[in-house]
């Protein structure tokens, strides 16, 4: 088993965080993992993306030229990276802010109104966690219990006040 994932959006959307959480959860489950972030010099609003590869065998290179799973949190990401998907790949679109549809017919498309669902929970910043829950449920790349464990770790200490909302965000979208 080897799954290549590409997460894309703009800075401040939590793109790197969800990729990192999947990578850490996969490591907790004893899988081989790479996580490679890429972002512009801007803190918020610039481009941000990362790749994650999860495998049951050693991964010789973290670079990818195609992906099995693409997460597009904004329209520029969808337009730029949709061609990277392999045939029969899975595309997750943040349908709250991406009004266009996928151009390809040979992929599976999952529309996740992540911002709307997070807003209903009380904080739109949890949109990435809504998307993370949808990704884990649909792909089965890691177990939900492992993602919850990683969420508890990420939102500990001074961030502990955000834990209940983020755990709730993981469970709001049912695939």
pLDDT digits 0-9 by tens, 36-83: 998 776 556 678 999 999 999 999 999 999 999 999 999 999 999 999
Asked whether the beta carbons of 74 and 82 are under 8 A apart, the reply is: no
- Please report, for the chain, the start and end positions of each structural domain, with discontinuous segments joined by +: 2-172
pLDDT tens-place string over residues 98-136:
999 999 999 999 999 999 999 999 999 999 999 999 999
Measure the CA–CA gap between 34 and 51, rounded to whole angstroms.
Answer: 8
- Segment holding 12, helix H or strand E: none
Structure tokens at 58: 């050693």
Residues 88, 91, 92, 96, Cα dihedral to 10°: -130
- pLDDT confidence band for 11 (50 / 70 / 90): confident
Q: Phi, psi at residue 102, to the nearest 5°?
A: -65, 145
What is the tens place of the pLDDT at every residue in 144-174? 999 999 999 999 999 999 999 999 999 999 8
Pairing outcome for strands 85-94 and 108-112 = parallel
| pLDDT in the model for residue 22 | 98
Instruction: List the CATH code of the domain at 2-172.
Output: 3.40.920.10
């Amino acid at each position: 088993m080897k799954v290549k994932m590409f997460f894309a959006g703009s800075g401040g959307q939590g793109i790197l965080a969800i990729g990192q959480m999947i990578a850490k959860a996969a490591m907790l489950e004893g899988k081989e993992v790479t996580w490679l972030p890429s972002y512009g010099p801007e803190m918020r609003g610039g481009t941000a993306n990362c790749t994650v590869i999860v495998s049951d065998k050693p991964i010789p290179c973290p670079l990818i030229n195609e992906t099995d799973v693409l997460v597009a949190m904004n329209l520029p990401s969808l337009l730029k990276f949709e061609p990277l998907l392999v045939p029969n790949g899975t595309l997750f679109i943040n349908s709250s802010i991406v009004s266009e549809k996928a151009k390809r017919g040979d992929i599976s498309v999952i529309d996740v109104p992540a911002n709307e669902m997070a807003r209903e929970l009380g904080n739109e910043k949890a949109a990435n966690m809504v998307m993370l829950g949808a990704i884990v449920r649909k792909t089965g790349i890691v177990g939900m219990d492992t993602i919850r464990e990683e969420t508890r770790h990420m939102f500990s200490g001074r961030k502990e006040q955000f834990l209940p909302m983020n755990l709730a965000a993981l469970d709001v979208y049912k695939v």
